[in-house]
């Protein structure tokens, strides 16, 4: 054999997750002693609550360490059903629930079960980094629906109409959004539901940030706006963000029985089941006290206010106030085309590199989310780090000529 072993054609479709890549580079610089402030992390800066950890430890001590049912243990699926009934008034049966190895994996199972060659999937943009690759890996085509910063990144009927075709099979909604923190208005969701009902689209509603909403009562959900859409909707959620459990890898999906059954087939032939120990921990999270997400949100509030005020006080920078999640997505494009040491800051990738190399600030370039005008900052970091970080941003921008 000459040269390297050949890879599958599929590998030409995707790149590694850029958010994880920035994080890795920042960690490497930090390991070499650089005073890195990390705004690139996509997870809460909280530890998993004690009672949840205790449930995980107990699972180990009790020998709950074997394969489980493919869709997840019945108690956990039952608890998820009860939580939705109590909190939202939505009725699901346990066989309409799949527990997966993180929310991302739920999306992957969904795309594999629903989409294939010739199918187009609408993705409001800026999008979460993994949506296009997950659609591509299913053999389908992501169709980006541009959202306007000036319209608070809300979906509009015009944008939807422009991007929908006969091949459209579905749409992925993420509200509150990663990276913008924006939420979709009830009016936008009404339009999505109307088009979906008319054309038979599937709606994937990624609700992973639904417990982190800053204006109580401001979050509309498509199932409340149009309950008749339920048989066409798949809800994606999990404990990663709400209970600071990113490392435990537990997500869950709720939807029509036949779709969940198909997702279970895929899961049975790939991961078999999510980790037994993590499922017991997630059970404690879902069925136990629900005050943790609210406490986390309270602690994010002053940081959100501070970072927004600082960023928007900088000449040329605009930034939508995030309604939820823990990210801000400022528009840095006024600084593109400027230079530092002869090197041109052409777009968000160069801007993020510049902030990392010159100011030791780790951020994620907007290009990773399909929106090159922007740079994402996570404010799930300490207030001290945010204060120092904003000073460094101002200094770095002032150095550009
Ligand atoms: C974090 C996140 C998820 C789920 O992540 P997991 O760690 O796989 O549970 C899903 N969607 C969005 C938009 C996210 O930011």
Q: Is the pTM of this model over 0.85?
A: yes
CATH of domain 9-47+292-399: 3.90.1150.10
Q: Please name which of 292, 274, 291, 255 lies closest in space to residue 76, comparing C-alpha atoms.
A: 274
Does ligand 1 lie within 6 Å of residue 42's CB atom? Answer: yes
Class of domain 50-287: alpha beta
Residue in 20, 241, 281 to alter for ligand 1 test, most ligand atoms within 8 A of Cβ = 241
Ligand 1: distance of its center to the CA of 277 in Å? 20
Does ligand 1 lie within 6 Å of residue 297's CB atom? Answer: no
Report the chain (401 residues): mean pLDDT per 10 consecutive residues. Answer: 90 77 83 93 93 98 98 98 97 98 98 98 97 97 98 94 97 98 97 97 98 92 97 98 98 98 98 98 98 96 98 97 97 97 93 94 95 97 97 97 90
Domain with CATH 3.90.1150.10 in the chain: 9-47+292-399
* pLDDT at residue number 217: 84
Question: Which atom of ligand 1 lies nearest, measured to the CA of 239?
Answer: 9
* pLDDT at residue number 22: 73
Residue in 41, 180, 208, 376 to alter for ligand 1 test, most ligand atoms within 8 A of Cβ = 208
Ligand 1: distance of its center to the CA of 104 in Å? 6
Q: How far lies 87's CA from each of 80, 149, 168, 314, in Å?
A: 10, 31, 32, 41
* pLDDT at residue number 88: 95
**CA–CA separation, 386 and 62 (whole Å):** 43
- List residues bridging with 203 in a β-sheet: 171, 233
Euclidean distance between the first and final Cα of the chain, in Å? 52
Place of tokens 């997505």: 329
Question: Which atom of ligand 1 lies nearest, measured to the CA of 236?
Answer: 10
**CA–CA separation, 43 and 218 (whole Å):** 23
Contact 338, 268 (CB under 8 A): no
Rg (CA), the chain: 21
Coil, strand or helix: which one is 247? helix
Question: Which atom of ligand 1 lies nearest, measured to the CA of 250?
Answer: 9
Ordered alpha helix ranges (H), 67-226: 74-88, 103-114, 131-137, 157-163, 186-199, 222-225
Ligand 1: distance of its center to the CA of 324 in Å? 14
**Helices 50-61 + 276-287 axis angle, to 10:** 140
Q: Please name which of 36, 98, 16, 55 lies closest in space to residue 285, comparing C-alpha atoms.
A: 55
**CA–CA separation, 210 and 177 (whole Å):** 10
Domain with CATH 3.40.640.10 in the chain: 50-287
């Amino acid at each position: 054999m000459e040269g390297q072993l050949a890879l599958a054609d599929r590998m030409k479709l995707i790149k590694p997750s850029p958010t994880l890549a920035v994080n890795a580079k920042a960690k490497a610089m930090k390991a070499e002693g650089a005073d890195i402030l990390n705004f690139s992390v996509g997870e809460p800066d909280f530890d998993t609550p004690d009672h949840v950890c205790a449930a995980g430890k107990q699972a180990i001590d009790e020998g709950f360490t074997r394969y489980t049912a493919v869709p997840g243990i019945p108690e956990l699926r039952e608890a998820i059903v009860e939580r939705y009934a109590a909190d939202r008034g939505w009725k699901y049966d346990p066989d309409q629930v799949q527990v997966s190895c993180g929310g991302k994996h739920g999306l992957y199972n969904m795309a594999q079960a629903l989409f294939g060659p010739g199918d187009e999937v609408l993705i409001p943009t800026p999008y979460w980094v993994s949506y296009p690759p997950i659609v591509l890996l299913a053999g389908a085509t992501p169709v980006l629906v541009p959202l306007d910063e000036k319209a608070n990144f809300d979906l509009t009927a015009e944008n939807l109409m422009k991007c929908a075709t006969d091949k459209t099979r579905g749409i992925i909604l993420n509200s509150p959004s990663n990276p913008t923190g924006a939420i979709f208005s009830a009016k936008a969701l009404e339009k999505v539901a109307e088009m979906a009902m008319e054309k038979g689209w599937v709606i994937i509603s990624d609700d992973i940030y639904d417990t982190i909403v800053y204006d109580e009562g401001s979050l509309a959900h498509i199932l409340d706006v149009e309950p008749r859409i339920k048989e066409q909707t798949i809800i994606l959620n999990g404990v990663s963000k709400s209970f600071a459990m990113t490392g435990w890898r537990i997500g869950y999906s709720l939807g029509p029985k036949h779709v969940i059954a198909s997702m279970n087939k895929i899961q049975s032939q790939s991961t078999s089941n999510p980790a037994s120990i993590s499922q017991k921990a997630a059970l404690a999270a879902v069925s136990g006290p629900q005050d943790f997400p609210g406490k986390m949100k309270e602690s994010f509030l002053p940081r959100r206010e501070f970072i927004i005020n600082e960023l928007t006080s900088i000449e040329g920078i605009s930034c939508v106030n995030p309604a939820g999640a823990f990210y801000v997505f400022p528009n840095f494009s006024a600084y593109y085309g400027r230079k530092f040491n002869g090197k041109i800051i052409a777009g968000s990738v160069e801007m993020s590199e510049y902030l990392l190399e010159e100011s030791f600030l780790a951020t994620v370039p907007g290009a990773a989310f399909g929106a090159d005008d922007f740079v994402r900052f996570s404010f799930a970091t300490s207030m001290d780090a945010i204060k120092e970080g904003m000073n460094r941003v101002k200094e770095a921008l002032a150095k550009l000529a």
